[in-house]
Structure 1
Amino acid sequence: MALQSSTSNEAQASKKLSHVHFFVWKEFVWGAVAGAFGEGIMHPVDTIKTRIQSQAILNGVKNQKGILQMVQSVWQVDGLRGFYRGVIPGVTGSLATGATYFGVIESTKKWIEDSHPSLGGHWAHFIAGAVGDTLGSVVYVPCEVIKQRMQVQGTITSWSSSAMKNGIVIKPGAEIYDYYKGLFHAGCSIWKTQGLKGLYAGYLSTLARDVPFAGLMVVFYEALKDVTEYGKQRWISSSKWQVNNSFEGLVLGGLAGGLSAYLTTPLDVVKTRLQVQGSTLMYNGWLDAMYNIWVREGMKGMFRGSIPRIAWYIPASALTFMAVEFLREHFNERGPNGDLRDVARLSIEKKKSLQEAA
């Protein structure tokens, strides 16, 4: 009877732990904080990237500026404020994306591993990352539309002097879209002029970019963690020196984010132009944009803004993963023996120790 009671208690405890594993509210909080932190720090770089990629719409295909020229232009015309235009909708969107990305990813991975073992390993990582980012896109895309339009607008002075249509300078207004004073004013303005379609402009192109990006970033991060873990076990397992989880997240997250960002740059170019063009349609959908960019600007146009995109994602991803690892390490629940209760983490649980114990 005592054995049965013990077994029953263990089953209940296991069931409870499994339930906690499937929905860990702290992961949503840590992800939201980390996402907003990374976006807020790196927003000026994102502004440069957005302006570089959208030049073909606002200024025509010819004589597009490079990185240094764009930085100089923003500074001369708008000053420091120009680099931080759209930071509020950017942070808001990153809150939603970070929360769903890290919050959903663990339960999705666990479900895939338990119900579809054949999809384990890197496939589980890819699918989990894609699902988490897709759910966040419901909030992220409208914020991204608003953020990018505010970024290309700069101050009211620069917007008035640079808005163009078919290569001809025009005054800002309904022909492109109104000048946005802030997040709510922009949302209401887009809703009145373009409706829900305007707020979700480039939605499919966003998914086309973010689903592979999110999946690839998790795959790269997990692969790098596996390599790091192998290296630690082989070379420094007997050493007293230990790698801090936050530092590991900083380095590996930066590498994973930078590589994923470069590979998905063409998709980002298409998304940016569809969202910036407003009601003055230069491209009629995702495929039309892809085709026209390739024909008019070639490979250079497809990878336009790749350097600032990578420069944004390396530190932004590094800071995000570092923040998540730090928050998990310092604020997650600890067991009775004082050890950190690892109910949710990015790497798949290794069951080797359980097998050895058996």
Structure 2
Amino acid sequence: MAVMSSPAVATAPGAAPAKKSVNFANLGVGATMNMFEVTTLGQPFEVIKTHLAANRQDSMVTAFKKIYQRGGISGFYQGLIPWAWIEASTKGAVLIFAASEIEYVALGSGISPFAAGLLGGMGGGLAQAYTTMGFCTFMKTVEITRHKAVGDVAQKSTFAVASDIFKREGIRGINKGVNAVALRQCTNWGSRLGLARLAEESIHKLRGIDHSRALNTWEKIAASAVGGGLSIWNQPIEVIRVEMQSQLKTAGRPEKMTIANCARWIWQTNGLKGFYRGSVPRFGLGMWQTICMVAGGDALKKYVNDNYGKK
């Protein structure tokens, strides 16, 4: 997620919203916070979550052991370079731009700022998936789920794997599962932004804080953690996305997967509980991402604007 200031603000009750130009400093803030998030706790949570979603028979302990056996501590950072870094450094800009335009139009139609922000987050999530995230998310999953050579047997580089997939399946092959990614991002950002803002509103009411006063750092972190943690309600979509992009070969698994036949396959092999594999690490990932992007991002944005903004 990128940090978003309100991209469209109504100048007076009933007046058309005055559109603000894209703040390029905020684009840099979004990219910076995304890079920080994924390079610290983000990628380990992502690797554990993806492993459990793809290997639904494994326990959390087994997942830790297998990941560590693949490469020690570095095993928890598979897919970070270059795919997660490419994704993190680009998706924030797409989100801000798309959400800005959608929110401007939505406010102009007369709906509430909360609803406009919700629509902006959903639209921004869709834009992320279909522009920068589809390929990168697929390649991260490939790195985490593909067979790893052991001993003296050389294994292909990540770029060689991408090249092989492109030669076999073309552009569709390297964007496999992008529709599931889009559905995940749309629901992710709609719920994360909405629930975080709802949590902020609740803190104001519970503590009797005037709405004109901004929450302090710890209050913002708490609200962001609540919003990020509760956004795991769409975990079934994430499990379907991982299965569609997984490189694990299983007898009976459909060769050409759609969201529908992938969901049937998960149900047939693991039942209802299969759709919730990886929920625990994704809970941690959602909290960490939202804390970094909302609480941390707001703080960094304020610092940048105070020190380097127009005087």
- The two structures have a TM-score, normalised by structure 2, of 0.82
1:60-139 map, 5 Å: 64-88=57-81, 89-113=83-107, 115-118=108-111, 120-137=112-129, 138-139=131-132
How far residue 38 of structure 1 moved from its aligned partner, in angstroms, is 1.2
Query: Does structure 2 conserve the Cα–Cα contact (< 8 Å) formed by 1:266 and 1:302?
Result: yes
1:146-157 map, 5 Å: 146-153=139-146, 155-157=148-150
1:132-281 map, 5 Å: 132-137=124-129, 138-153=131-146, 155-157=148-150, 180-182=156-158, 184-231=159-206, 234-235=208-209, 243-244=215-216, 246-260=217-231, 262-277=232-247
Query: Does structure 1 conserve the Cα–Cα contact (< 8 Å) formed by 2:146 and 2:246?
Result: no
The 2-side partners of 1:303 and 1:221 are apart by 22
How far residue 51 of structure 1 moved from its aligned partner, in angstroms, is 1.1
The 1-side partners of 2:307 and 2:58 are apart by 53
Shift in CA distance, 249/155, structure 1 to aligned 2, threshold 3 Å: farther
Shift in CA distance, 187/228, structure 1 to aligned 2, threshold 3 Å: same
Residue range with higher mean Cα deviation, 131-140 or 25-34: 25-34
Query: Does structure 2 conserve the Cα–Cα contact (< 8 Å) formed by 1:85 and 1:154?
Result: no
Letter in 2 for 1:76: Q
How far residue 270 of structure 1 moved from its aligned partner, in angstroms, is 0.2
- The residue aligned with 1:304 is 277
How far residue 248 of structure 1 moved from its aligned partner, in angstroms, is 3.8
Query: Does structure 2 conserve the Cα–Cα contact (< 8 Å) formed by 1:38 and 1:317?
Result: no
Query: Does structure 2 conserve the Cα–Cα contact (< 8 Å) formed by 1:257 and 1:317?
Result: yes
The 1-side partners of 2:235 and 2:50 are apart by 12
How far residue 282 of structure 1 moved from its aligned partner, in angstroms, is 2.4
Letter in 2 for 1:157: V
Rg (Cα) greater in structure: 1
CA deviation string 1:179-219 (max 9, x = no partner)? 5423x434323222221011110011111221111111111
Letter in 1 for 2:48: I
Query: Does structure 2 conserve the Cα–Cα contact (< 8 Å) formed by 1:22 and 1:106?
Result: no
The 1-side partners of 2:247 and 2:146 are apart by 12
Query: Does structure 1 conserve the Cα–Cα contact (< 8 Å) formed by 2:100 and 2:120?
Result: yes
Query: Does structure 1 conserve the Cα–Cα contact (< 8 Å) formed by 2:192 and 2:290?
Result: no
How far residue 294 of structure 1 moved from its aligned partner, in angstroms, is 1.7
Q: How many residues align?
A: 289
Unpaired runs of 5+ in structure 2?
Answer: 1-10, 12-16
Query: Does structure 1 conserve the Cα–Cα contact (< 8 Å) formed by 2:253 and 2:265?
Result: no
The 2-side partners of 1:226 and 1:105 are apart by 21
Hey, which bits of structure 1, 4+ residues long, moved more than 6 A?
278-281, 334-338
| Partner SS state of residue 53, structure 1 | helix
CA RMSD, Structure 1 to Structure 2 (Å):
3.1
How far residue 259 of structure 1 moved from its aligned partner, in angstroms, is 0.7
CA deviation string 1:59-115 (max 9, x = no partner)? xxxxx21111110222234211211111121122122222222444344323311x2
Letter in 1 for 2:178: Y
| Partner SS state of residue 326, structure 1 | helix
- The residue aligned with 1:332 is 305
Unpaired runs of 5+ in structure 1?
Answer: 1-10, 12-16, 57-63, 161-171, 173-178, 339-358
CA deviation string 1:115-134 (max 9, x = no partner)? 2113x243212210011112
- The residue aligned with 2:23 is 24
- Report percent identity of matched pairs: 19
How far residue 334 of structure 1 moved from its aligned partner, in angstroms, is 8.0
Query: Does structure 2 conserve the Cα–Cα contact (< 8 Å) formed by 1:130 and 1:214?
Result: yes
Residue range with higher mean Cα deviation, 188-197 or 325-334: 325-334
Query: Does structure 2 conserve the Cα–Cα contact (< 8 Å) formed by 1:34 and 1:321?
Result: no
Query: Does structure 2 conserve the Cα–Cα contact (< 8 Å) formed by 1:23 and 1:107?
Result: no
| Partner SS state of residue 331, structure 1 | helix
How far residue 155 of structure 1 moved from its aligned partner, in angstroms, is 4.5
The 2-side partners of 1:266 and 1:337 are apart by 45
How far residue 337 of structure 1 moved from its aligned partner, in angstroms, is 12
Which of 301, 319, 328 is the aligned partner of 2:292? Answer: 319
Shift in CA distance, 96/278, structure 1 to aligned 2, threshold 3 Å: farther
How far residue 24 of structure 1 moved from its aligned partner, in angstroms, is 2.2
Query: Does structure 2 conserve the Cα–Cα contact (< 8 Å) formed by 1:31 and 1:101?
Result: no
